[in-house]
Amino acid sequence: MQALPLRLSPGDDLRETLTAALARHGVQAAFVVQGIGSLSAVELRYAGVDTPASLRGDFEILTLAGSLSRDGAHLHASVSDAHGRVSGGHVAHGCIVRTTAEVLLMLLPDYAFTREHDAQTGFMELVVRKA
């Protein structure tokens, strides 16, 4: 296991930047342990809903966690708006960093994560293998 702290810059897409960091380090598996920062655009898919909600404005990232594989990112976040209202859900593409995002990745070089269809759930689910 190897800790990898990252600072994302204004304009970075949260999902794309984290997935790219995994590829840059030549690793096939990682967990996002925590993240904080701010977003100007938020795309969250709420439980049981197929289409993400689009939020625009100034948002603080309160929590960020998930898994990263070469198949992509599975992230969940909670964010608050300028009035302290909190929204949370599955992080979709299009979450754009406003001023900064500070994220701690835990790289797992001994493992390979993939996402494969699970007949029981009907979704693409995490499959963990030794690298």
pLDDT digits (tens, 9 = 90+) for 31-73: 999 999 999 999 999 999 999 999 999 999 999 999 999 988 9
Q: Where are the domains of the chain?
A: 2-130
What's the confidence (pLDDT) of residue 72? Answer: 87
pTM, to two decimals: 0.93
End-to-end CA distance of the chain: 13
Q: What class is the 2-130 domain?
A: alpha beta
pLDDT digits over 3-32, tens only? Answer: 999 999 999 999 999 999 999 999 999 999
pLDDT at 66: 98
DSSP category for residue 118:
-
Query: Regarding beta strands 53-69 and 96-107, do their DSSP bridges make them parallel or antiparallel, or are they unpaired?
Result: unpaired
Cβ atoms within 10 Å of 113's Cβ, excluding its own: 23
Amino acid identity at 66: G
Distance, CA of 70 to CA of 10 (rounded, Å) = 24
